Amino acid sequence: MVLFFFFLVIIVPEANALFTQPSRYHHHPTSRNRAIRNQVYQTSATENYEEGIQTQIPRIPASKRSSTIEGPPIESKPDYSSINGPLGPFVDTILMSLFRFKLAQRLSRSDNEVITPDSKLPLNDFMGIIDLTSRMNAQHSNRKTVQTYAQEVLVSLFPTFILDRYPSWFAKPFPEFSAKMCAWATVVGGTWLMGECEVNDIPEMDENGGGKRMGVLVKRCRFLEESQCASICVNSCKIPTQNFFYENMGLPLTMTPDYSTGECQFAFGKLPTEEEERAAKDTPCLMRCPSNGGMRSWHNSNEQQPTDSESGQWLKDLKALGELQEKPNGSVSSCSLMED
């Protein structure tokens, strides 16, 4: 019954909008779409193992690699297209398409300081979300703008009557039950975005019987894997999602990504501490970062924002900004994007 209600109030009202979009959104990737992907990611020499597509992922100079995180081995990258949530691939495709549709809507609003056009990739292609998210980060040097946009996309996915009532009807009077319900819903509705995940316990919340089945362990995050950028992870996912649950759902959430393994631990009902947030922000760049660390410098600069988001020039500009500056002790400076 809960699943049926979820399907009625969230998925069905949006289906008409999704499936009345231009036909280019609704077919599976063809050779032409693969060519478009190559054009979007035209700056690299590392193979995308998902479909054998050649992408341009620059490498950080070897002399700097001691201050970067290599991340999980690309050879063991999961086949994310074969990983489905509990409701099956059909519902996952609808959820993915809905998310992409809402993201494109938010980024193309006429009142935006910079208007970001939708990706040329089909609506049901996960890499279209990565393309849009990367350009969103590249076009806005203020990381708060990126975080706000991402949170507003999450808000737009839910009917107003749910967000208006959930804090007072569930989160405040029944915090433990709400945490468990949100953990379950995250697995049900988010597997397509994160990859394989499972509900688990949070041992540090075990006081007074809390923490049981109030967490979600993402085993190797698809969003992080495909974006290959810790800065995009923090500013487009971690912080906006934590803010959404706390400010819009009335439920604290702590997300703890592990950039060396690709794991991410959700802890519902737990407010993030300053130490935990600083640890996430202080993480070095990933070795396979497409901007070579430039995304971080760009988000802390006052330079004019690039507006030609489809030409690929933005990535070249970010790579130029990504020349890592050495500190007097010889270490590489941490990401300015992460700094407050």
pLDDT in tens, 122-158: 999 999 999 999 999 988 888 899 999 999 999 999 9
Distance CA 159, CA 124 (A): 22
Q: Give tens-digit pLDDT for 83-98.
A: 999 999 999 999 999 9
- State the chain's mean pLDDT as an integer: 77
Lowest mean pLDDT among 61-65, 168-172, 195-199, 288-292: 61-65
Distance CA 333, CA 273 (A): 23
Q: How much is the average pLDDT of 239-249? A: 97
Q: Decide which of 243 and 318 is more confident.
A: 243
Cα torsion angle, 228, 229, 230, 233, sign: negative
Nearest to 188 by CA among 177, 178, 199: 199
pLDDT at 292: 67
Local confidence band at 188 (pLDDT 50, 70, 90 cut-offs): very high
DSSP 87: T
Lowest mean pLDDT among 50-54, 180-184, 211-215, 224-228: 50-54
Angle at Cα 281 formed by Cα 125 and Cα 251, nearest 5°?
A: 75
pLDDT at 39: 43
The answer on pLDDT for 69 being more than 80 is: yes
The answer on pLDDT for 108 being more than 50 is: yes
Q: Decide which of 196 and 280 is more confident.
A: 196
Q: Give tens-digit pLDDT for 260-314.
A: 999 999 999 999 998 888 887 777 888 888 766 666 555 555 444 444 444 455 4
List, in sequence order, every beta strand (DSSP E) within the chain.
46-48, 53-55, 197-200, 215-218, 253-258, 263-268
The answer on pLDDT for 22 being more than 70 is: no
- The DSSP-derived string for 295-337 is HHHHTT--SPPP--TTSSHHHHHHHHHT-PPBPTTSPBPPPGG
Q: How much is the average pLDDT of 74-91? A: 96
Local confidence band at 332 (pLDDT 50, 70, 90 cut-offs): very low
pLDDT at 7: 42
Lowest mean pLDDT among 215-219, 269-273, 332-336: 332-336
pLDDT at 125: 97
Q: Decide which of 336 and 174 is more confident.
A: 174
Distance CA 149, CA 288 (A): 25
The answer on pLDDT for 326 being more than 60 is: no
pLDDT at 203: 86
pLDDT at 51: 36
pLDDT at 298: 53
Distance CA 221, CA 257 (A): 9
pTM over 0.85: no
Q: Decide which of 187 and 326 is more confident.
A: 187
Token pair for 53: 């597509």
Q: Sort 201 into a burial class: Cβ within 10 Å, 0-12 / 13-18 / 19+.
A: middle
pLDDT at 327: 39
The answer on pLDDT for 43 being more than 60 is: no
pLDDT at 291: 67
